Structure 1
């Protein structure tokens, strides 16, 4: 059994604090028989914040390797909303990481490990080049499916995955040139869902589906009505929500943007207070959420929590 876990995140200066908290959650939950080798694709992190990240995970005897990125490589890639070219860095991981590294787990910075990372790491990819988790919000949306059918060729019998948590067989990626294919698409095509569309297009019908609990995104956390419509999806979503492996704050509502509330961001704040960023002012509201009434979101969370108990 491979007891070395290669964990990769990508961050710039704005997301350094959140990368630190994400890493802390991984170390805090990891089986002590495993060692995590942490890598951060550095899209412009200041020295001061690098030191804070290192101090934050040193509590768990962890360390991190910062890898400088050629930011010009993706400068002409398509971006929209709050996204930057940093979302494409993961596409080049087979070339960025040392050739001796044959496998890695990539996660976004807006995640928290709620269970032992080694369980996810030991997922058998069964020969597939990538392992990921279904984006159930998209796959249960007629409009979303129609768009993906047109843009990437998604078929009715296929699922679509979220790119915020992926296990990559780097050796296979190198042998088959998947990184080059992905980067070419990033530089010459425009996809609504950016890197996520690119990865789904390249690996249509050729990816290992991992249990929903390892990427609990808002549609699951909030138990969207469209997910509750069918018994199959309802059962899977509630099981994932009640037994989270990774909580992923995908979308507009991030853990750090609102005051501490146990049911929404309690664990984030717990780790934040233990981190070297603990002197930063909180919450940290983004422009897109200025004036938003988070009270409505809390009501949705409480209702979803009640349903997850009643319907399990």
Structure 2
């Protein structure tokens, strides 16, 4: 016989979820280890938490065996290391991106994900960790907390508010956030799909003393990424006098973290951001400081690894077509995101290429998941629910 307080809590949660379905419990199942009442309530009430479990992608016979068969380490140099941000707003995109990497990897068990979560995201880093684990039970990953106050005082206004999100700047701090044992990483934005073997990108060499590799676009009008005030200042514009700068998109980068740390590139980027706060020298968000430091000294990677701009421009958004040539990675950079346009029943043609990787569960599958999740919560957690609601 359930205690009256516990019984009342169950009835209350069920009745509220039936009256207001968008706030129902919405993940496939909770992690097997115990979670406290606050985290359980966060998982239960979050509309963004509805994801199906991904297929179980396993290595083939030809894959190299990890150095440690029993426990995969975030330091293992034999693995492919990928860094991505993880937040509630772009979670649907991040999950699809991870799914695409695993689906097309020749050795999916040899991939390690380093997720960077914001300290004050509506979904706590712990809950995001549990959600990733329930969606990808066999995934090798670690979640790091990014302290937004690290960069908040360096961010200037941009042409689009989303570009001012502190988590956009987490890539500047990968050398500090990730353990010093991680020598190399692929950074990927949350709005990408990888449709080729990620090991091919990982195996690209960074020649000479180059710190990053990325597809370059030298036909683009490079001057538009900085203000007239920047170009008219002979001291500032001289930064490009000894190199031929080309535009590159920072949403896909291969990064040598040893050289990054040795060259103190985090501080070099911060110096430009500090100048931007005093004198407006660019209008976009986190991209221009990277261009100021690295443009003209980037390992040029084949364009197939960043078919970018599929989200349209940063103000209006628009439907774009693919660039000529083969495709290994699709990138919905720009204002429009495929999950938003699909949800609003107004997709662009290329958004349908993203759809098969989407693991988000529609509302019609909600009720079954709700009762399954409730049945997996311990009695002490439900009492926590009652305490929260009282």
Normalised by the shorter chain, which TM-score bucket? 0.7 to 0.9
Closer, same or farther: CA 113–280 of 1 in aligned 2, 3 Å = farther
Q: 1:130 — aligned with what?
A: 212
Partner of 1:214: 305
Question: Equivalents in 2 of 1:280, 1:178: separation in Å?
Answer: 45
Distance 1:132 1:263 in 2: 26
Q: Does 1:169 align with 2:277?
A: no
In 1, the alpha carbon distance for the partners of 2:272 and 2:283 equals: 13
Aligned residues: 259
Residues 14, 145 of structure 1: alpha-carbon distance in 2 compared, 3 angstrom cutoff: closer
- Alignment equivalent of 2:144, drawn from 40, 45, 67: 67
Q: CA shift at 1:270, angstroms? A: 1.5
- The answer on whether the counterparts of 1:162 and 1:196 sit within 8 Å (CA) in structure 2 is yes
Equivalent residue for 2:130?
51
Pick the structure with greater CA Rg.
Answer: 2
Deviation of 1:144 (Å)? 2.3
Determine which of 287, 292, 298 is the counterpart of 1:201: 292
Query: What TM-score comes out, normalization by structure 1 length?
Result: 0.73
For residue 168 of structure 2, the aligned residue among 65, 78, 87 is: 87
CA contact (8 A) 1:132 1:165 kept: yes
Give the number of the structure whose residues are more often helix, by fraction: 1
Listed as ranges, the gaps of 5+ residues in structure 1 are 225-236, 282-312
Equivalent of 2:340 in 245, 251, 257: 257
**Residue in 2 that maps onto 1:268:** 354
Give the structure 1 partner of residue 58 of structure 2: none
Instruction: Evaluate the alpha carbon distance shift between residue 146 and residue 50 of structure 1 in structure 2; reply closer, same or farther with a 3 A threshold.
Output: closer
Task: State the Cα distance separating 1:12 from its structure 2 match.
Answer: 2.3
Alpha-carbon offset, residue 146 of structure 1: 7.3
In structure 2, which of residues 329, 334, 355 is the aligned counterpart of residue 246 of structure 1?
329
- Aligned-pair Cα RMSD in Å: 2.9
**Contact 2:85 2:167 survives alignment (8 Å):** yes
State whether residues 24 and 56 of structure 1, in contact with CA within 8 Å, keep that contact through their aligned partners in structure 2. Answer: no
Provide the residue aligned with 1:192 in structure 2.
283
Whole-Å separation in 2 of the counterparts to 1:79 and 1:113? 31
The runs of 5 or more residues in structure 2 that have no matched partner are 1-63, 65-76, 313-318, 365-390
1:262–1:32: structure 2 CA closer, same or farther, 3 Å change rule?
farther
Structure with the larger RCO, 1 or 2 (CA within 8 Å, 6+ apart): 2
Shift of 1:34: 6.1
